[in-house]
Chains A and B, each alone.
Chain A
Amino acid sequence: TQLLEQSPQFLSIQEGENLTVYCNSSSVFSSLQWYRQEPGEGPVLLVTVVTGGEVKKLKRLTFQFGDARKDSSLHITAAQPGDTGLYLCAGKINAGNMLTFGGGTRLMVKP
């Protein structure tokens, strides 16, 4: 069982649709990051959230950190083919020195 569970694992939608992906845990995280990874490349950081209840917006992407700092969501408005990729959440537990990644959500946006 992974410390960070992401859902759904796969998502295929049409251009223009909205979507939300989730990152859940039973552990409390001091901070959490979202990455996007394209085929053949390493992950690229999208955002870091550190405060419970925090909401950050990056153009059409909205990121929310749960009040209890155990979960997070990523909402994409009017998805575009360029949003296609693997979305990974990663968190740091308070007392730990390691970054823990979720299994990822693979998103495909069809034209």
Chain B
Amino acid sequence: NAGVTQTPKFQVLKTGQSMTLQCAQDMNHNSMYWYRQDPGMGLRLIYYSASEGTTDKGEVPNGYNVSRLNKREFSLRLESAAPSQTSVYFCASTEAVPWEGLRRTQYFGPGTRLLVL
């Protein structure tokens, strides 16, 4: 059981380049999330997918798109990277849907460190 896996671990981009961050979970979870973490800001939700086939905006969705490819995989795309998107990106999954509250554990991946020059 690998849990939540993310690729790549590190990436350097030039302003304007595009890339896709990949996330997969093997726990048969319904809900998946993408967060970004910046110093002193905690984690901020970018997008989430309550279940396969649905996606919703989080707190900071501008400049990003997502795809829930199937129940296992949830990708995050930066179409035209900007220096403000330099951050550490975490994918997470949980068995519960968001409106069930926090009674279920969110499992996080190890993160992708992105630097946009």
**What separation, in Å, do the CA atoms of A40 and B112 have in the docked complex?**
9
| Contact A99–B102 (Cβ < 8 Å) | yes
Task: Please give the number of chain A residues whose Cβ is less than 8 angstroms from any Cβ of chain B in the complex.
Answer: 28
Task: Please give the number of chain B residues whose Cβ is less than 8 angstroms from any Cβ of chain A in the complex.
Answer: 27
**What separation, in Å, do the CA atoms of A48 and B103 have in the docked complex?**
7
Interfacial chain A residues near B90, Cβ < 8 Å: 42-43
Q: Is A68 among interface residues, defined by CB-CB distance under 8 A?
A: no
**What separation, in Å, do the CA atoms of A104 and B40 have in the docked complex?**
7
Q: Say which residue of A42, A50, A101 sits within 8 Å of B111 (CB atoms).
A: A42
How many Å from the CB of B37 to the closest CB on chain A?
A: 9
Given A42-B109, A98-B45, verify A31-B102 contact (CB < 8 Å). yes
| Contact B103–A31 (Cβ < 8 Å) | yes
Interfacial chain A residues near B53, Cβ < 8 Å: none
**What separation, in Å, do the CA atoms of A33 and B42 have in the docked complex?**
13
Interfacial chain B residues near A78, Cβ < 8 Å: none
Residues 94-111 of A at the B interface (beta carbon under 8 Å): 97-104
| Contact A33–B109 (Cβ < 8 Å) | no
**What separation, in Å, do the CA atoms of A30 and B101 have in the docked complex?**
7
Chain B residues with CB under 8 Å of chain A are 4, 33, 35, 40-45, 48, 50, 56, 58-59, 90, 92, 98-99, 101-103, 105-106, 108-111
- 13 additional contacts, CB 8 Å, given A48-B105, A90-B43, A99-B106? A31-B101, A33-B102, A42-B111, A45-B106, A50-B101, A97-B50, A97-B99, A98-B45, A98-B48, A98-B58, A101-B42, A101-B43, A102-B42
Chain A residues with CB under 8 Å of chain B are 2, 4, 6, 9, 30-33, 40-45, 48, 50, 88, 90-92, 97-104
